[in-house]
Each structure stands twice: as C-alpha cells, then as structure tokens.
Amino acid sequence: MNYKKYFKGKVILITGGTGSFGNAVVKRLIKLQPKRIIIFSRDEKKQEDMRNTYKSKLIHYVIGDVRDIYSVDQAMKDVDYVFHAAALKQVPSCEVYPIEAVKTNTIGSYNVMIFAAKNHVKRVVVLTTDKAVYPINVMGMSKALMEKLMISCSQNFKTVYCGVRYGNVLYSRGSVIPYFVSLIKKGEKLRVTDAKMTRFLLSLEDAVELVLESLIKGKTGKVYVRKSPACTMETLAKAMCEIFHYQKGYVEVGVRDGEKMHETLIASENKPLTSENTRRLNVEETKQLLLTLPEIQEERRMYEQKNS
C-alpha cells in the first residue's frame, strides 16, 4: 500500500511511543513525510535515547501520562491520527497491582479516546492483545474493557476508532526471547514456564504493517487481527539453543499467576482462533523465523565472536 499519500503532511501522536512498537513505527513514518510525529510518554530517559537515535526535526517529544487528562488534552492539539500503544503489559505486575493496570490500560485509554474526539482527531487505533479474549488475568481484563470503551466511543463520536489485536511480538521489550538471550549470555538454563504452553509468533514488522493498514482502512468500532503461527515454549527454547549452539538446554519453572496455557485471538463458539489450533511451527521452522530478526542475528554474531 502507498502509505505516503495518507501520512504526508499529517500530525501523528504515538502514546507510549518509546516502546518497541513506537520505535518501529517511527522508522516507517519518517519516510512518509508527515508534518510532525509526537512521542507521548512518561519516561524521559527513553525519550532522550530516541532523540539521540533519530536526530529528526520531525519528531516532537512530550512528557506526559495517559492517566493525566490535562497532558493528554494538550498533546492532542492539531493531531490528525493517534496510535495508542501506552499500556502496562507485564502479566505478573498487573496481577500484583491490578488497580494500576486499570488506571493505565482502561481509564488512561479512555482519556486518549475522549480527548481525541474533543480535539477533532480523524482516526485512532488502539493496540490491544490476545489476552483480552476470554481474559483470566488483570492485564487481559483491563484491555478487554479498553476494547469495549473503543466500541462505545465509535458509536458516540465522529472520530474513527478501531483496534488491533495481536499476540506476542518477537523480540519486543520485556518479551521471552530477549529474556532467553540474557540467560544464554549468563550461561544459565533457559527458564520455561511450561513446555506445552503455546504462544503466537508475530514479527514487529508485521505488527506495524497491521496497525498502519488498520489506521487507513479500518472501520469504526472494529478490532482487526492478523492470523499468525504459534509454537510451544519447548519448541521456542530448543530453537534458541540450536541458533546459539547452546548446550545447557532449558528447565521448567511453572506457570506464573494469571498465565494461560494457550492464547486466543478470535472468540467463537464454534472454533475460536487460538495458539493451540493455529498453524504450529516445529523447531526448524521456528529457527528460520527467529533468524529473520536483526536482533537475533546480531546477538548470535556477538555471542559466537565472544566464544570463538
């Protein structure tokens, strides 16, 4: 798709813009000649890191929190499009501090949607998660409520609201693959919650493509997904060990509070789309997918260089 004609000259706000998604989408947006890209987040260190990385006059950095209606309102001035990525995403943390997840993922998301309408923003895409389908943990519940609020806003305001729901993004910040890499560097066994647990596998590039396409083509009140393959945690651990020629293997440590054995992208009474019934990758297929990631390529190069 020719995205330039949609984004050229536009002002784009990315909440939680210093995260993995924000960094990835900024790389795409800079090439599309927008008028301005606003990075809205509460972490000044990560903003400074981005500032030093991109060195672009197109990017404007705003310190703020989606929980604070005043900073959200101010950041929305003259904005055309919003990508709402700010969230508390760690399942264990949300289980321990559920009210904090509600404040950010539910109420904070509502603030973004309401003030987008107030400031006449044309389109808003909210990033949600497979954990919002049949939720059993606080993170999923708070995101499920966000989806319901998005649908409600779509029925009451002129702004176009839609959602994008996907599973685990490969090598995103705080995810299992960089955690496995850190354990390999320390010479420890890979810690697997349950060998039979399954998870969807989606590249960050595919996630960004889905979000951009949804912003342009999305119908108000709809949630969009991209079907992706999955693998077991055992398969993922074995693939990582083979990529790094790592001999120590893995150990099972037990499922954490609030974790599902299998995730669901689409709810259906007949046949839901889950990480158990989607296309399942074997070890070799998982290896090939992981080796497409620049981060894995670089980490393997450095690991081999250090251990040669």
Q: Residue 62's domain spans which residues?
A: 4-167+203-225
**CA atoms of 45 and 57, how far apart (whole Å):** 19
Q: What pLDDT was estimated at residue 1?
A: 82
Mean local confidence (pLDDT), 270-290: 94
Q: What pLDDT was estimated at residue 107?
A: 98
Q: Is residue 233 part of a domain?
A: no
- Nearest CA to 126 among 210, 70, 11? 210
The CATH number given to whatever domain includes residue 106 is 3.40.50.720
Is residue 131 among the annotated active site residues? Answer: yes
Q: Is residue 78 part of a domain?
A: yes
Residue 269 pLDDT more than 80? no
User: pLDDT band at 118, cuts 50/70/90?
Assistant: very high
Mean local confidence (pLDDT), 281-298: 96
Choose the catalytic residue: 10, 46, 89, 131. 131
Q: Are 126 and 113 in contact (CB under 8 A)?
A: yes
Query: Which conformational region is residue 153 in: left (phi greater than 0), alpha (psi within -120 to 50 degrees), or beta?
Result: alpha
**CA atoms of 199 and 205, how far apart (whole Å):** 18
**CA atoms of 109 and 151, how far apart (whole Å):** 12
Total number of domains in the chain? 1
Q: Is residue 159 part of a domain?
A: yes
Q: What are phi and psi of 12, to 5 degrees?
A: -120, 130
Residue 257 pLDDT more than 90? no
Q: Is residue 121 part of a domain?
A: yes
Residue 256 pLDDT more than 90? no
Average pLDDT, the chain: 95
DSSP letter at 162 equals E
* Sign of the alpha-carbon torsion through 240, 246, 252, 254: negative
**CA atoms of 262 and 274, how far apart (whole Å):** 7
Q: Is residue 38 part of a domain?
A: yes
Q: Is residue 296 part of a domain?
A: no
Q: Is residue 107 part of a domain?
A: yes
Q: Is residue 270 part of a domain?
A: no
Query: Which conformational region is residue 122 in: left (phi greater than 0), alpha (psi within -120 to 50 degrees), or beta?
Result: alpha
CA-to-CA dists, residue 43 to 82, 211, 293, angstroms: 19, 23, 26
